Amino acid sequence: MKVLVVGSGGREHALTWKLLQSPKVERIYCAPGNGGIGKIAECIPIDVTDFKGLIHFAQKKKIDLTVVGPELPLTEGIVDRFQEKGLKIFGPNQKAAEIEGSKVFAKDFMAKYRIPTAQYRSFTDPEKTVQYINQQSTPLVLKADGLAAGKGVLVCHSRAEAYEGIDRIMRERDFGNAGSRLVVEEFLTGEEASILTVTDGEDMVLLPAAQDHKAIFEGDKGPNTGGMGAYAPATVIDQKLLEIIKQKILLPTIQGMKEEGRPYKGVLYVGLMITKAGPKVLEYNCRFGDPEIQAILPLLRSDLIDLLLASVEGNISKVAPKIKHESAVCVVMASGGYPGAYEKDKVIKGLGQIDKSIIVFHAGTKIKGDNIMTSGGRVIGVTALGQTIRAAIDRVYKNVGKITFDGAYYRKDIGYRALSRQITKY
């Protein structure tokens, strides 16, 4: 098979890396790819939203399956466009992808189908938003309606912070058109976790639960990022809780989308808060989580291509993935200043010094001459496996310290919640 992976981040590097392990895959192309992907696959300089260019390439190269990584092309209808041309593609169509593309749609959907989530109100007028907030207690959460690269969620601990957030999102448009509508949510307390399920619109297959670390600083402090690291399996979710999540959240979501005339095929990512009252949905994503997938895929023993094809072809009930009985930890190394302004074109050193058991997934990198250079906010993800979570954490940090570039920053506490539970083996 010939496979085209669409995207340029750590998620796409992880997908490419795993797909290359399949004996069924003859060749992989990635558009546009990055410096690390270019070492294992052929990178094609086509933008993720250049649907005409991507379709032409897929037809020319006789691509057997296209796998879409990021949310933007999915919410803009890449799956619909490919299917119109008879091209096989993994991911939800545009109507289904709205579950991530619009937080207002997602919240209204959950309310309709009684899927547990935080109480909320949505607004298009900043003045009316202020009036509503004046009647609420804090902390509360503000969410830009549209896509904001994982940064459009603001936790406000005072009304003053909320007023500032309204200005940023709705008036100053820090997140562009994503801020034309705003969701105000109650603040949920508990522990976050991510569930990824691959579905064909009827049945589904669960991947190991993961826990992301979105905040930039240790202890989950500071502004949100696209994700500073993750580990899997997430120890906060046991089998009993997983069954509750399946019955009260996942199956109702898939069935509800079908009833809405938006049958969902692809990967459904559900961000959860595990509260004292049970699991509640924080957000839906219509694609593999990044960096979660950098911790999940190394735990997958079976062939990823079989799982993706089963979703596309509607026979996911016949697939039963095999998972390693280990833990995986991914630590993201970012450019200094991220998630704010940062410099690029810094030489990355030490990649050849890491242990052979370590997996490095490139995100914001490019090749320049003989060097690998930084080209983004999140630069690389370093993943280690271990028989225990403690072993995986020790192994990953031993190797992260060997990789350097000017201004490099990474959190030193990825996986700390798992350690605090003193659960060490699965």
pLDDT at 423: 41
What is the rounded average pLDDT of the residues 127-145? 95
- 386 in Cβ contact with 395 (< 8 Å): yes
Could you tell me the CA-to-CA distances from 173 to 62, 124, 129, 176, 182 in Å, in that order? 42, 13, 15, 5, 11
Q: What's the 3-state SS for the chain?
A: CEEEEEECCHHHHHHHHHHCCCCCCCEEEEEECCCCHHHCCEECCCCCCCHHHHHHHHHHCCCCEEEECCHHHHHCCHHHHHHHCCCCEECCCHHHHHHHHCHHHHHHHHHHCCCCECCEEEECCHHHHHHHHCCCCCCEEEEECCCCCCCCEEEECCHHHHHHHHHHHHHCCCCHHHHHCEEEEECCCCEEEEEEEEECCCCEEECCCEEECCEEECCCEEEECCCCEEEECCCCCCHHHHHHHHHHHHHHHHHHHHHCCCCCCEEEEEEEEEECCEEEEEEEECCCCCCHHHHHHHHECCCHHHHHHHHHHCCHHHCCCCECCCEEEEEEEECCCCCCCCCCCCECECHHHCCCCCEEEECCEEEECCEEEECCCEEEEEEEEECEHHHHHHHHHHHHCCCECCCCECCCCCCHHHHHCCCCEC
- 82 in Cβ contact with 55 (< 8 Å): yes
User: How many residues comprise the chain?
Assistant: 426
Rounded CA-CA distance 99/225 in Å is: 21
Identify the weakest region by mean pLDDT among 119-123, 221-225, 280-284.
Answer: 221-225
Q: For the chain, what is the mean pLDDT?
A: 95
pLDDT tens for each residue of 218-236: 999 998 899 999 999 999 9
What is the rounded average pLDDT of the residues 209-219? 95
What is the rounded average pLDDT of the residues 73-83? 98
Closest listed residue to residue 195, CA positions, set 233, 160, 153, 229: 233
pLDDT at 424: 36
For domain 191-318, the question of CATH label 3.30.470.20 is answered with yes
CA 53 to chain centre: 25
Task: Report residue 152's pLDDT band, with 50, 70 and 90 as the boundaries.
Answer: confident
What is the rounded average pLDDT of the residues 152-164? 93
- 142 in Cβ contact with 156 (< 8 Å): yes
Task: Report residue 118's pLDDT band, with 50, 70 and 90 as the boundaries.
Answer: very high
For the segment(s) 327-420, the CATH number from 3.90.600.10, 3.40.50.300, 3.40.50.460, 3.30.1280.10 is 3.90.600.10
What is the token pair recorded at 220?
Answer: 């989950």
What is the rounded average pLDDT of the residues 67-96? 98
- 313 in Cβ contact with 24 (< 8 Å): no
pLDDT tens for each residue of 28-66: 999 999 999 999 999 999 999 999 999 999 999 999 999
Closest listed residue to residue 249, CA positions, set 96, 106, 117, 100: 117
Which residue ranges does the chain devote to CATH 3.40.50.20? 2-93
Which residue ranges does the chain devote to CATH 3.90.600.10? 327-420
Q: Is the pLDDT of residue 425 over 50?
A: no
- 190 in Cβ contact with 275 (< 8 Å): yes
pLDDT tens for each residue of 326-371: 999 999 999 999 999 999 999 999 999 999 999 999 999 999 999 9
Q: Is the pLDDT of residue 288 over 90?
A: yes
Q: Is the pLDDT of residue 426 over 70?
A: no
Which residue ranges does the chain devote to CATH 3.30.1490.20? 119-186
CA 33 to chain centre: 17
Q: Which CATH architecture has domain 119-186?
A: 2-Layer Sandwich (3.30)
pLDDT at 229: 98
Q: Return the biggest CA–CA distance within the chain.
A: 60
CATH code, 2-93:
3.40.50.20
Rounded CA-CA distance 325/242 in Å is: 17
Task: Report residue 212's pLDDT band, with 50, 70 and 90 as the boundaries.
Answer: very high
